[in-house]
Amino acid sequence: MAAQKRKAPGAPEKKDRKLKKAPAAEKPPAPAAPRGSTEARPEEGASSATELSPEEKRVLERKLKKERKKEERKRLREAAATALAPPLPAKPSGAQLALDYLCGWAQKHQGWRFQKTRQTWLLLHMYDCDQVPDQHFPTLLAYLEGLRGQARELTVQKAEALMRQLDEAGAGPGHPLLERSRRARQVLQLLS
């Protein structure tokens, strides 16, 4: 431990820095000085005895300056993040992904591989002209030739159910189920 120096009697007392900081920490912080002002404003109604010492003012100014710099850096960081972040490209829809999958199969791409989710989407929407356009339907029929097992059986059952539904409805020309029944008939001829 360091030995403490004894003070000579009658010598002027020097205040220890730690003692200066302690009372400043105990005081409630003074209101923030307006920007551009170098002095902190004393509280209204306070006497001149409660004004801050020059060192306390410097400490307070440094703290305020640090806070302002921190806020400015935060604003700049947020502005840079929004400016640098490229807009996210729109993700392709399930329909587009399934049709790309089907076209990849038709062209026998090296990178093509079986994807159950794409096949399931195609089997669910193959009767809908909006989802699977007429230009892709012959390719889909060729794809369906390779169906095996449960997927083949379920596809046949759904096509038969759709044909029965059309028969019960007794739809004439221009009926919305007419195009679906035409497609179902083609699927049944292919898979039966």
SS (H, E, C) 27-56: CCCCCCCCCCCCCCCCCCCCCHHHCCCHHH
Which range among 70-79, 123-132, 158-167 shows the weakest confidence by mean pLDDT? 158-167
d(CA 65, CA 38): 11
Query: For 191, phi and psi rounded to 5 degrees?
Result: -95, -15
d(CA 157, CA 185): 12
Between vectors from CA 182 to CA 176 and to CA 180, what angle results, nearest 5°?
40
The pLDDT value given to residue 106: 92
Q: Which of 181, 126, 123, 131 is nearest to 153 (CA)?
A: 123
The domain limits of the chain are 50-88, 94-191
pLDDT tens digit sequence for 73-120 = 999 988 887 777 677 788 888 899 999 999 999 998 788 899 999 999
The pLDDT value given to residue 122: 95
SS (H, E, C) 68-120: HHHHHHHHHHHHHHHHHCCCCCCCCCHHHHHHHHHHHHHCCCCCCCCCHHHHH
Residue 185 or residue 4, greater confidence? 185
Measured in whole angstroms, the distance separating CA 91 from the mean position of its chain's CA atoms is: 13
In our burial notation (b when 16+ CB lie closer than 10 A, e otherwise), range 109-132 reads eeeeeeeeebbebbbebbbeeebb
pLDDT, averaged across the chain? 79
Paired tokens of 116 = 């159950």
SS3 at position 66: helix
Paired tokens of 78 = 């947020």
Is pLDDT above 80 for 169? Answer: no
